Chain A
Amino acid sequence: MKKIIKYVITDILRNKIVLAYTIFLLAISFSVFSLEDNPTKGMLSLLNIILIVIPLISIIFSAIYIYNSAEFIELLVSQPLKRKSIWLSLFVGLSSSLSIAFLVGTALPVIIYAFSITGLVMIVIGLLLTIIFIAIAMLATLFTRDKAKGIGITILLWLYFSLLFDGLVLFLLFQFADYPVEKIMVVISAFNPIDLGRILILLKMDISALMGYTGAIFKNFFGTNLGLIISFIIMLLWIAIPVWLSVTKFHKKDL
């Protein structure tokens, strides 16, 4: 298993796209911090990158990588190796290499320019989002053999998590405006890792505005240690459940 992980990591790191991704992140983060005169505004722009760009790249890159290594996977399956360990090592390899890219590209500038609790939370959330979307992409690729279709599915999934879900929430909010929905909103936010991550970061960043009525409910839940632990467990579940599903699916799959 270790050998496969090592092979996957070196394969991806040698890949020019990940290098380009790292440089792209690095360039954006540095320019964001040096263009804005106060680091808080830089953090805001970075927040958008973490919530939009990182899930997109993670999900599409992993999907393409899995499709491209279809023959390699078939070769591995023919060897006396457990299917579970093949799939898991692919996952570990992908997530560690993209995590390295993220850490170099974003965490480094954050630590240099705006090292604070907010920055730290941002790095952790970004890391978690990277891994979550890799897990989701790997699950999605198992549903179809067609590469174009598969990538289409992953793009749709990204669109759903970053835009459509929020649209639906807004729609529900308007429909149920007369009911006390604040507490339900806390539960609903658990159904989207991007939303959950955003709220966790904002609790550190825009504390004044969030102290309003609804914000206070968020604060009372997510701001406490218990809430923080629960939300991180939910984030980890967002990794564990797709991985587990894809492992069982890959186990039974007719390649």
Chain B
Amino acid sequence: MKSVVHVIILTFLFFSTNATTIRVGNHQLFHTINSALLAASDRDTILVEKNVYFEKNIEITKQIILKGIDYPVLDGEHTYEIISIKADNVVVDGFKLQHSGVSSLVDIAGIKIYNKHNTQIINNILDDTFFGIYSQYGINCIIRNNSLNAHRTEEQQSGNGIHCWKSDSMQIIGNTISGHRDGIYFEFVTHSIIWRNYSFKNLRYGLHFMFSNDDAYVTNRFENNGSGVSVMYSHGVKMFNNYFKENWGDAAYGILLKEISDSYIQGNHFEKNTSGIYMEGAVRIDVTRNTFKNNGWALKIQASCMDIDLHENNFIGNTFDVGTNGSLVLNKFDKNFWDKYEGYDLNKDKIGDVPYRPVSMYSMIVEKYPSAMMLFRSFITSLMDKTEKVIPSLTPENLKDNSPLMKPLPL
């Protein structure tokens, strides 16, 4: 009986919501979005026809769906924040936002979420915005299939593409970001996923994590960013199946890990980076089934790292496999494929019989005296490497792979 009453009440509620659709356009009743917003009530849909709108700031305080037809242009005239979302359950879909204001005091964004939840920002094109999409205390929001492009040249003068601050349960999916300071920026963001994004040619990092725990980023591509990807002061981060390519420069890394613990790096591809992974103060990290190809340094593991478990990775065509700065090694290397391995396999179990030492003496020297790069691949350095292999003195004794694979893993 009770459930029947529930059903009746729900049906009543459903029909009583009475959601209407309001159209905005040159030949419609409403010519501006702001006037339509005034007239709208919760759960209404506002359809915006193709045009260029100079609305100054659009403040959404009602739970509405704002949808563009054929990408209407919202212009911020280099002064305003274009859309401010100050209500729950808002959907912004299919707009082209351009020319937001720039400020060094306020974080002006193309679209900004203020302390709200269940917001969806889908299929928008953002061009020349300061910050792109900004979530402040956003909860359970979806940012999907947006394309963000900025054209700044200086870090101080530019904002981040997708910027999340103190948010939770965010879904960042399928966005394309370029030309911003950081492509995707997370600070104090938890339980969120970053999936299938393409972040390239950003001034600083493709992806920047700070104090963001229990997040995952999966199947993203990070290419040609000023300094690669950086993950700092977080724990429980899962990094799966991403591509890190062509991040070049002395301080550029495929991934920079600083003070990270209990995290997973699996199935990623690192190609043509100056350093594939740089670890500093990283603890309990599982690095499995990754491919390191044609990097300057595949891995740089500082002596401050502990319990890093590296197994079943492919190291192919890297100039240096592993670089380190001290003799203390608290990490484990096991069953990786190293293309520089020169050992043999007598019992044919596909595992080399002599351990492989991925740190060469020359890489230790270069770590200490970067200018020694001038002697790279010269006769004297290869001579030194060979003697060091026979009698290790400078390279850390324990840094070795005891069971190197003879054939690369099919990854």
Contacts and interface: CB of A to CB of B under 8 A. Distances in A.
Interface stretch (A116-124, A144-152, A167-175): A167-175
A214 B371 CA distance: 6
A216 interface: yes
Interface in B353-382: 365, 368-382
Nearest to B373: A214
Contacts of B252: 211
A211 B274 contact: yes
Nearest to B316: A38
A195 B378 contact: yes
A212 B294 contact: no
Given A198-B376, A208-B274, A218-B373, 9 more contacts: A51-B379, A181-B371, A206-B377, A208-B294, A208-B296, A209-B297, A209-B320, A211-B252, A215-B296
Interface in B287-337: 294-297, 317, 319-320
Interface in A222-248: none
Interface residues of B, number: 32
A233 to B, nearest CB: 20
A212 B375 contact: no
A198 B274 contact: no
Given A185-B374, A212-B370, A214-B373, A166 B380 contact: yes
Contacts of A218: 373-374
Given A208-B274, A208-B295, A209-B320, A214 B370 contact: yes
Interface residues of A, number: 39
Interface of A: 38, 40-41, 44, 47-48, 51-52, 162-163, 166-167, 169-170, 173-174, 177, 181-182, 185, 188-189, 194-195, 198-199, 202, 206-216, 218
A51 B377 CA distance: 10
Interface of B: 248-250, 252, 272-274, 294-297, 317, 319-320, 339, 365, 368-383
B231 to A, nearest CB: 21
13 contacts: A47-B377, A163-B379, A163-B383, A170-B372, A188-B374, A195-B374, A202-B377, A208-B248, A211-B248, A213-B250, A214-B370, A214-B372, A215-B373
Given A211-B250, A216-B249, A198 B377 contact: yes
Contacts of B381: 166
A177 B370 CA distance: 9
Contact of B374 (A162, A163, A169, A208): A169
Nearest to B276: A208
Given A51-B379, A52-B379, A167-B380, A212 B373 contact: yes
A198 B378 CA distance: 8
Contacts of B297: 209
A148 B196 CA distance: 70
